[in-house]
Amino acid sequence: MILSKYFAMNFGILAKIYNNWKKRYAGSEKITVPATADKRQAIVDYFREEATIMIATEAAAEGINLQFCSFIVNYDMPWNPQRIEQRIGRCHRYGQQLDVVVINFLNKANEADIRVYKLLNQKFQLFSGIFGASDEVLGSIGNGVDFEKRIAEIYNYCRTREEIHQAFDELQYELQMSISDKMLTARSTLLDNFDTEVAEKLRVDLSTSLSNLDTFEQQLWLLLKCGLREKGSFDDQTKEMVIPLPNPYHGKYFMASKDNGKRKQEKNERILLRMGHPLVQSVVRQAKSCVTPCHEVVFDYSQSPEKVAYIEQHLLERNGWMYVERLSIDSFEQEDHLLISCFTDNFEAVPEDISQRLLTLFATENKDIVKIPTEVIHQYNDDINACRVDIVEESGMRNQNFFDEEMDKLDTWADDMKISLDREIRDLDAEIKLRKGEAKKLTRLAEKVAIQRQIKDLESKRKEKRQNLYEAQDEVENRKEALISKVGKMLDQKIEQNVLFTFK
């Protein structure tokens, strides 16, 4: 009887949600025929705007978008991993702004349930990793229904713990072989046919020694290897560097990476390589102050582990020039930029991102000093001047936007404070007026004295609020004046340019 009453109440709520939704969108194209899809959409809209929890059957596993939600509870665990992926995919999809948390209910007393969960989590990567990480793994099992049947057979025919373990071990071994082959094939296809930039955007592991470092860390690692090549030893696999005595910075260093973050080692044994460390700073200073006469540098693209389509199509077997300057702007904050001019012998410009990739290729240097032709000097001066103008203009626009935003913040803060204090003062005025009216009705002197004390306290609070309002307005004006003075001093940007290197 209670169950029947609950379902009656539940269906009544759903009908009310749908009727309200129809009234809201009456006459619009959002209402369709038949009403089945509309009822689903009405429930989703209600969940997004008003409700806190939505309980759904498998019917909600496809066809609805729940990017506004980031918390999923799997009350039951389907054996078909593709069905679980569908459930998670309702929230974990394009447009999601938050990390999606998945909670799975699991019967820890059931050995088969535990093994199913381990398979789904560890082999199919359903509950961890970036969006889409499990796609290529799921693709290796073909039809998810077949996998579900295999699980059902284990549940139906295995009775002892040993039988369950043996059956799952066999299934896991088959999956391991299939998944590994599929992932290797997919990764090989990507690396053979995709440009490096495309691979990076797809977050493909390039299987290089520096694959676990981001671009900045890779550049820093290469710089340290160059600057300290005669003073230490380097391990590209572990991203570790050892500087022996008597160097004052002797010790074992490591570069932060995904792998290093998982290894448990004593912190006092290794030192994290970061930009602020004195050793790194000394190498950077040394690199910036190096005397670099113009030499010829020969790049060997054949030894590059990366595939760069632009180089293959435009630069192989060609000559050119590269000129690099460092631009420093001292304004609201210190800015450092690299100005790069790179072009072929017939003065075809090479894009800046390709120029930077050239510097990561294997190369040999001809020790003979090269004389730079006059037309080449004119070309790279024109390029650098154009880059400098763009960067200085962009910096000025950023400073202007910063100033406007700060002034808007101060004005908004002043308005909010004034509105809040005005409201409090009005409330005190009303309460004082009310107390004075009550005082006139009292007949006993003691009561009159007591209420007059309350009125006096309220008037003191009102006076304090008014004083706070004046002080807040003065503070806003002082902050505005300080901001204007600061901007006035920084309007004259201090710009410095230093030549770093030129090579043929």
Tell me, what's the pLDDT at 345? 92
87-96, 258-267, 409-418, range with the lowest pLDDT: 258-267
User: Hey, how many other C-beta atoms are within 10 angstroms of the C-beta on 234?
Assistant: 16
- List all residues 6 or more positions away from 119 whose beta carbon is below 8 Å from its beta carbon: 168, 171, 172, 175
If you average pLDDT over residues 280-298, what whole number do you get? 90
What is the pLDDT at residue 5? 41
Q: What is the pLDDT of residue 116?
A: 79
At 386 the pLDDT is 92
Q: How many DSSP H helices and E strands does the chain contain?
A: 15, 11
CB burial class (10 A; 0-12, 13-18, 19+) of residue 465? middle
In the DSSP assignment, the letter for residue 100 is P
Q: What is the DSSP letter of 315?
A: I
* Residue 131: other Cβ atoms inside 10 A: 14
Residue 378, pLDDT score: 95
Residue 109 to residue 315: CA distance in whole angstroms = 64
pLDDT at 83 exceeding the cut of 50:
yes
Phi-psi region of 361 (alpha: psi -120 to 50; beta: other; left: phi over 0): beta
**Mean pLDDT, rounded, for 223-251:** 87
The residues near 100 (Cβ < 8 Å, ≥ 6 apart) are 70, 71, 72, 88, 91, 92
Q: What is the pLDDT of residues 103-152, one digit of tens each?
A: 888 888 877 788 778 777 766 666 665 444 455 455 555 555 566 777 77
pLDDT at residue 112 in the model: 76
Kindly compute the dihedral angle of the four CA atoms of residues 87, 93, 95, 99, in this order, to the nearest 10 degrees: 80
- Cβ neighbours around 342 below 10 Å, total: 22
pLDDT score for 206: 45
Residue 384: predicted pLDDT: 93
68-95 as b/e: b if 16+ CB within 10 A: ebeebebeebbbbbbbbbbbbbbbbeee
How far apart (Å, rounded) are the C-alpha atoms in residues 264 and 256? Answer: 13
Q: Which amino acid is at 149?
A: K
> Which residues in 4-139 belong to E strands, given as ranges?
71-74, 101-104
pLDDT at 381 over 90: yes
pLDDT at 249 exceeding the cut of 60: yes
What is the pLDDT, as a whole number, of residue 197?
58
Query: Is residue 428 a contact partner of residue 465, using CB atoms and an 8 Å limit?
Result: yes
Q: Tens of pLDDT along 45-60? A: 888 888 888 888 877 7
User: Across the strands, what pairs with 299?
Assistant: 363
Q: Is-contact 33 22, C-beta < 8 A? A: no
Angle between helices 215-227 and 278-288 (to 10 degrees): 80
Res 4: pLDDT: 41
Check pLDDT > 70 for residue 31. yes
pLDDT tens-digit map of 437-490: 888 888 888 888 888 888 888 888 888 888 887 887 787 788 778 777 777 766
Check residue 132 and give left, alpha or beta (phi > 0: left; psi -120 to 50: alpha). Answer: left
Residue 483 host element (H or E) = helix 445-490
Percent of the chain with pLDDT over 90: 13
- Cα end-to-end distance, the chain, whole Å: 89
Considering the chain, what is the average pLDDT of its residues? Answer: 78
Model confidence at 400, pLDDT cuts 50, 70, 90, reads confident
176-180, 243-247, 287-291, 412-416: least confidently modelled range:
176-180
Residue 68 has pLDDT above 90, yes or no: no
- Binned at pLDDT 50, 70 and 90, residue 209 comes out as very low
3-state secondary structure of 398: helix
Q: What tokens appear for 502 in the block?
A: 């030129």
Task: Let me know the angle formed at the C-alpha of 316 by 313 and 322, rounded to the nearest 5 degrees.
Answer: 105
Q: Is residue 173's pLDDT more than 80?
A: no
Summarize the confidence of residues 155-171 as an average pLDDT: 80
Q: 262 falls in which pLDDT band (50, 70, 90)?
A: very low
Please report, as a single letter, which amino acid is at residue 371. Answer: K
Q: How far is CA 444 from CA 22, 82, 437, 447, in A?
A: 63, 82, 15, 6
Residue 292 CB partners (closer than 8 Å, separation 6+): 500, 501, 502, 503
Residue, of 175 and 300, whose pLDDT is higher = 300
Question: pLDDT digits over 314-346, tens only?
Answer: 899 999 999 999 998 887 677 889 999 999 999
